[in-house]
Amino acid sequence: MSTETLAIKITKTKESRINEVDFNNIPFGKVFSDHMFTMDYKDGEWSNPEILPFGKMLFSPAMSSIHYGQSIFEGMKAFRKDGEVYTFRAKDNFARLNRSADRMCMPNIPNELVMNGLKELLRTDKEWIPENETNSLYIRPFMFATDEYVGIRPSETYKFMIFCCPVGNYYSEPLKVKIETHFTRAANGGVGEAKAAGNYASSLYPAKLANEQGYHQLLWTDSKEHKYIEESGTMNVLFVINNTLITPSLSGTILPGITRNSVLTIAKDWGYNVEERQITVTEVIEAIKNGTLTEAFGAGTAATIAQIQTIGLDGMDYELPEIKGREFSNRVLKFLNNIKRGQETDKWGWIDTV
C-alpha cells in the first residue's frame, strides 16, 4: 500500500465538548474541536495516520524539536454553507508546508495523503464548522522533530498533526502599526520565507515593546538598512498609492502568503494596476502626507483583510483615510469571503468541497 492511500484509523471521542461552546462569542485560537489528525515519519516513510480525540501528548525531554527548533506549521480555514463544507487553497498551503520542510531539513508529505487526512478530520468534526458569515474553522497543520537526541543534526523521525479551532475575527478593530527600524524579523539567507516556528519566537519581544506603546502590530523592515517595508507580524502588507496596488516583492525574507497571492490574482483579474517591488519607508510616509496613499491593509489567513488605520514611525503617528471609503480592500474582502462560502464563481480552482 502506498503512502498516498494509507488507511486512516479513526477513534472518536466518547463525549463531545461542542455544547460547551458559545459560537456567537468565540475567542481566537483558544477553543479546539473534538479530534485531531496525526501521523509519524520513520525510516524514510510516513505511517500510522490516525484521527483521535484532541488531547495532551507525552514526549521525551530530549525531543530534538524542543532544543533545536525543527518545527514548521501552516494555517488555513474551512467554511460551511447550507450543509456543504469548503476549504480554501488547502493544496497551496500544503505545498508551502513542503517548501518550509525543505528549508528546515524535514520530510515532504505527499499531497494526496495530507489532503485525505484533512478531509477526514473535517468530516469527523463537521459540526464544529460555524455556518454564520463571520466565523470559520481555523485549521492548524504542523510538523516537528521527535528524535530523542541532544545533538545538532536533522532529526530522523517526525510527527505531523492537524487540529482545528472554531474562530471569529482575528482583529476586532482597525490596526495601529509601528514601523520597526531596530529589530529584525528575517535576514537574507535566513528562513524568513519558511513558516518556521522560530521566526515567530524571535518577533515576540519587539512586538511586546510595540504593544506597550499602543500598537497592535509591527511593520518589519529589511535587516540591512531598515529602509524597505517587508511584512507585518501576522500578515503580508499591501498599499494603494496613486491608484496602484503595491506590495513588497518576495525576496527570501518575506513569507509568500496564500492570501497575498489571492489578493494580487484578483486585483489583476479586475484590471487594477499591481506592482510587486521594494517599497521604502519614505515612500509610504510621503504618500500618506500628500494624500496619494488611500489604502493600507494586511492580508493573511487568520485576518483575511486587516485594515490599517494608523502607521507609527519614530514617535510620530500618521492617520490613514477612513476605512469605509476604501474601494479596493473592502471589495476584495467581500469577494474573498463569498468565494470561500461558494457564493462567487471559483474561476481559479481554489475551493475544495469536503
Domain range summary for the chain, segments of one domain joined by +: 3-168, 175-340
Query: What is the C-alpha separation between 105 and 280, in angstroms, rounded?
Result: 34
DSSP conformational letter for 25 = S
With a CB cutoff of 8 Å and minimum separation 6, the contacts of 103 are: 191, 193, 194, 196
- The answer to whether 47 touches 6, Cβ cutoff 8 Å, is yes
pLDDT tens across 91-149, in order? 999 999 999 999 999 999 999 999 999 999 999 999 999 988 889 999 999 999 999 99
- The answer to whether 151 touches 62, Cβ cutoff 8 Å, is no
Answer whether CATH 3.40.50.720 is correct for domain 175-340.
no
Grid cell 471521542 is found at 13
Predicted confidence at residue 133, as pLDDT, reads 81
Helix, strand and coil in the chain, % to nearest 5: 25, 30, 40
Supply the pTM of this predicted model: 0.95
SS3 144: strand
Residues 51-54: contacts with CB under 8 Å, at least 24 apart: 51/8, 51/9, 51/10, 51/11, 51/117, 51/120, 51/121, 51/124, 52/10, 52/11, 53/11, 53/12, 53/13, 53/14, 54/13, 54/163
SS3 118: helix
User: For the chain, which ranges sit under pLDDT 70?
Assistant: 1-5
Give the strand pairing for 273-276 and 9-10: unpaired
* Residue at 151: amino acid letter: G
H/E segment holding residue 313: strand 304-313
pLDDT tens across 196-229, in order? 999 999 999 999 999 999 999 999 999 999 999 9
Query: What is the C-alpha separation between 257 and 250, in angstroms, rounded?
Result: 10
CATH of 3-168, one of 3.30.470.10, 3.40.228.10, 1.20.120.420, 3.40.50.300: 3.30.470.10
Query: What is the C-alpha separation between 85 and 262, in angstroms, rounded?
Result: 20
